[in-house]
Structures are given as structure tokens and as C-alpha cells.
Amino acid sequence: HGFALEFTEDAVVALIEESLEADKTIRGLCERKFHNFNHGLTLISRNTGQNRFVVDSDVIRDAEKALSNWVVASYKKQETES
């Protein structure tokens, strides 16, 4: 979809730790955590043109909250630029 997700080192560590604790593969964990990201990132991209996103440990801990915050911020940015 043209999006680039850049995982910080602390995000990678958090994913590995959560994967081990949950006894899930990294892929399975990411599929569950990021299942709504395509829709949310599409909205952000439409609003701002942004297509690169940094995923840190806060995003790993609560992906839905982070995505929601990003989407809200993109609408606010769109309003201020209009």
C-alpha cells in the first residue's frame, strides 16, 4: 500500500519480549496488533501525504491507541492547513 513502517530498536525488543511471553510468532503478534493499520494509515496518508511511520515501544504496547492518536492528529493537521 505504499507505507513504510520503521521499527525502532526498543520496538523490536518489545515485540520479541511480548512474542516470547505470549508464545506467539512475531508475524502472528504483528498481524493481531496491526490489523487496523492499513485503514488508519490510509486515512493519515490522505489527510497529510505521510507514508512513513515510526513504530516505537509505545506503539507496540498499545497499537490501537497509537493509531487512533495518529489519525486524530492527521485530521487536526488537515484542519489547520485548510
- The structure's pTM equals 0.87
For residue 48, which of 81, 4, 9, 2 has the smallest C-alpha distance? Answer: 81
Q: Which residues pair with 66 in a beta bridge?
A: none
Cell of 35: 490489523
pLDDT score recorded for residue 1: 65
Mean confidence (pLDDT) of the chain: 94
pLDDT score recorded for residue 67: 97
Please report where in the chains the cell 492547513 appears, as a residue.
Answer: 81
